[in-house]
Amino acid sequence: MKEISAKDVQEDLEQGQSLNLIDVREVDEVEAGRIPGIIHIPLGLLEFRMNELSKKEPYIIVCRSGARSGRATQFLESQGFDVTNMVGGMLAWEGEVQ
């Protein structure tokens, strides 16, 4: 499984890179603060909403601590998607939130 640090994601965004971020946390967690522009698909709905994603695009998966996003990354990878887990999740995120 590919992994990226929260710091690397933050630096890429600050440098103007366009990243496809997916937040797999629950609704109440996302309402408490999320990375601007992130797509929200709760982990429990991922299997049913993966048709909204493109296998031609890379995605970075985010959760609170990195555990659920790790499971989501493994699942999507098994379905043929190009995915990377953001290690440490939102607990490690020091960038902007909305």
pLDDT band at 89 (very low <50, low <70, confident <90, very high): very high
Q: What does the H/E/C string look like for the chain?
A: CEEEEHHHHHHHHHCCCCCCEEECCCHHHHHCCCCCCCEECCHHHHHHHHHHCCCCCEEEEECCCCHHHHHHHHHHHHCCCEEEEEECHHHHCCCCCC
**Those residues with Cβ within 8 angstroms of residue 78's Cβ, 6 or more apart along the chain or in another chain:** none
Active-site hit among 63, 72, 76, 83: 63
What digits encode the pLDDT tens for the residues 55-76? Answer: 999 999 999 999 999 999 999 9
Mean predicted confidence (pLDDT) in 75-92: 98
Is 35 annotated in the active site? Answer: no
Which domains does the chain show, CATH number per domain? 2-92 (3.40.250.10)
Q: What are the backbone dihedrals phi and psi of residue 22, each rounded to the nearest 5 degrees, phi first? A: -125, 125
pLDDT at 91: 97
Strand partners, 3: 85
Q: What are the backbone dihedrals phi and psi of residue 85, each rounded to the nearest 5 degrees, phi first? A: -90, 130
What digits encode the pLDDT tens for the residues 15-55? Answer: 999 999 999 999 999 999 999 999 999 999 999 999 999 99
pLDDT band at 4 (very low <50, low <70, confident <90, very high): very high
- % of the chain with per-residue pLDDT over 90: 100
